[in-house]
Amino acid sequence: MIAYIVRRVLLAILTIWAITVLSFLIIQLPPGDFVTAYIATMSAGGAGITEGEAQALREQYGLDQPFHIQYLKWMGLIAQGNFGMAIEWGRPVLDVIGDRMVLTIVISLAAIVFTWALALPIGIYSAVKRYSFLDYFFTFLGFIGLAIPGFMLALIVMYIGFAYFGASVGGLFSAEYADAPWSLERVWDLITHLPVPAIVLGVAGTAQMIRIMRSNLLDELRKPYVMTARARGLSETRVIMKYPVRVALNPFVSTIGYLLPYVVSGSIIVSLVLSLPTVGPLLLKSLIAQDMFLAGTIVLLLGVLTVIGTLISDLLLMWIDPRIRLGRQ
In the complex, the residues that contact another protein under the rule CB under 8 A are 223-225, 227-236, 242-243, 246-247, 250, 320-323, 326-327
Count of helices and strands (H, E) across the chain:
17, 2
**DSSP tag of 162:** H
Least distance from another protein to the Cβ atom of residue 106, Å:
33
- Between 99 and 236, whose beta carbon lies closer to another protein? 236
92 phi, psi to nearest 5 deg: -60, 145
The per-residue DSSP string of 233-258 comes to T--HHHHHHHTHHHHHHHHHHTTHHH
Q: Is residue 37 a contact partner of residue 289, using CB atoms and an 8 Å limit?
A: yes
Q: Is residue 297 a contact partner of residue 91, using CB atoms and an 8 Å limit?
A: no
Least distance from another protein to the Cβ atom of residue 224, Å:
5
Output 147-152 pairs: Cβ under 8 A, ≥24 positions apart: 148/203, 150/200, 150/201, 150/203, 150/204, 150/267, 150/269, 150/270, 151/269, 151/270, 151/272, 151/273
- Between 136 and 188, whose beta carbon lies closer to another protein? 136
Least distance from another protein to the Cβ atom of residue 5, Å:
21
- Between 78 and 316, whose beta carbon lies closer to another protein? 316
Least distance from another protein to the Cβ atom of residue 317, Å:
11
- Between 7 and 238, whose beta carbon lies closer to another protein? 238
Neighbours of 83 (CB within 10 A): 22
Least distance from another protein to the Cβ atom of residue 131, Å:
9
- Between 133 and 165, whose beta carbon lies closer to another protein? 133
How big, in percent rounded to 5, are the helix, strand and coil portions of the chain?
A: 75, 0, 20
**DSSP tag of 176:** G
> Is 91 in a helix, a strand, or coil?
strand
- Between 269 and 316, whose beta carbon lies closer to another protein? 316
Least distance from another protein to the Cβ atom of residue 72, Å:
48
Task: Give the Cα separation of 207 and 209 in Å (integer).
Answer: 5
Least distance from another protein to the Cβ atom of residue 123, Å:
18
- Between 308 and 316, whose beta carbon lies closer to another protein? 316
